[in-house]
Amino acid sequence: MTGIVDIVIEDDRWEAAGLSRLAETSARAVATHLGYDPALYQAVVMGCDDARIAELNGTFRDKAKPTNVLSWPSAERGSEYAGEAPELPEPGTLEAPEPLGDIAIAFDTCAREAAEQEKTFDAHVTHLLIHGILHLFGYDHIDDDDAELMEDTERQILAALGIADPYAGG
């Protein structure tokens, strides 16, 4: 394994869209921002379509409809105090990176949202991947304080990548 992300392609459009590149860039940016060596962590990202993500959303969240991104952390890492950064996982090794969990991302919903929000597909997908990866590291948006922390962290990581604030003007 050469990167922080293991990619599973269920919808070929993701191959053409460069999901591997976007996921690797996003995961490395998150890990680096949090002060970690990206090579010591591992996440799985599955690129799928709306039908598959609706099935997953129904199975795991009782919401049988498409969404943009879902995440399944390998462990509960959230802070017990609202607005406090989560306790981040211990790193693995180069030979055995620490598993963070899994992410599924839906091509159809991402493409539609990017068009509706007048954003590039790559910028929107990068934001959603960063959002999902932060969930794997224990960030959440259940209450306002947690949401503020998570969104501020997303903004900082996106800015370092030269991507505009996805929450501005909306």
Binding-site residues for Zn(2+) sit at 131, 135, 141
HSE, CB side, 13 Å, CA atoms: give it for residue 67.
17
Paired strand residues for 99: 42
- For 152, phi then psi, to 5°, come to -60, -40
Helix/strand/coil for 94: coil
User: How far is the CA of 105 from the CAs of 5, 71, 117, 133, 168, in angstroms?
Assistant: 14, 9, 18, 12, 23
